[in-house]
Amino acid sequence: MLRAVFPGSFDPPTFGHLNIIERASSIFDEFIVVVADNRGKKYLFSRDERVALLEELVKRRKNVSVAYCDSLIVEFMKKLQIRVLVRGVRGANDFAYEFDLSMMNRALDSGIETIFMTTDPAYFVLRSSAIKELASFHGDVSAMVPAPVAAALGEKYR
């Protein structure tokens, strides 16, 4: 069984995240999207809201599940005996950050393998932070996020 996790804030999930989930989950037998809940970070959507949105988006994919993690991702992976961590990269800036992160995770647990998946060109400009800003000005985000997320953003910024 080839299993992998895809950790992130997903605040909120975008078509970019969904594209990585679709492509990466076709490679692995079991694919777990892990919603990070870091005490030091301020999120627009609560942990439960982000989990619920992702569950709605992946419900038709049999080998994809959603979990949350409020500890180190390496601890979470150790508990489930998963070695592969998937991260998406939009460009060189993302890669510099992701590379450092992968080095840190490897320093914490040398058994962890990080796999980078490059974004589909259609989604490389999508960024949760920019989408939240646009939504806060009541801009149209329907091309950037799935319908349930667009509706949830509309509710937040009503």
Where does this chain bind ligand ADP (CB under 6 A)?
8-10, 14, 16-17, 20, 36, 87-90, 94, 119, 123, 126, 128
Measured from the CB of residue 15, what is the shortest distance to ligand ADP in angstroms?
Answer: 7
Residue closer to ligand ADP (CB basis): 77 or 158:
77
DSSP line for 23-92 = HHHTTSSEEEEEEE--TT---SS-HHHHHHHHHHHHTT-TTEEEEEESS-HHHHHHHHT--EEEEEE-SH
Report phi then psi at 129, rounded to 5. Answer: -65, -45
Q: Which SS3 state, helix, strand or coil, does residue 119 take?
A: coil
Tell me, yes or no, if 17 is annotated catalytic.
yes
Assess whether 132 carries a catalytic annotation.
no
Q: Annotated catalytic residue: which of 39, 41, 60, 62?
A: 41
Active site residue 39: no
Nearer to ligand ADP, 9 or 25 (CB): 9
9, 25, 102, 128: which is the annotated catalytic residue?
Answer: 128
Residue position matching structure tokens 């000005």:
137
Q: How far is the CB of 150 from ligand ADP (least distance, A)?
A: 16
Annotated catalytic residue: which of 47, 78, 83, 90?
Answer: 90
Compute φ and ψ for 92, nearest 5 degrees.
-60, -35
For ligand ADP, the closer of residues 93 and 158 by Cβ is 93
Q: What is the DSSP letter of 12?
A: S
Give yes or no: 41 in active site: yes
Task: List, by residue number, the catalytic residues.
Answer: 17, 41, 90, 128
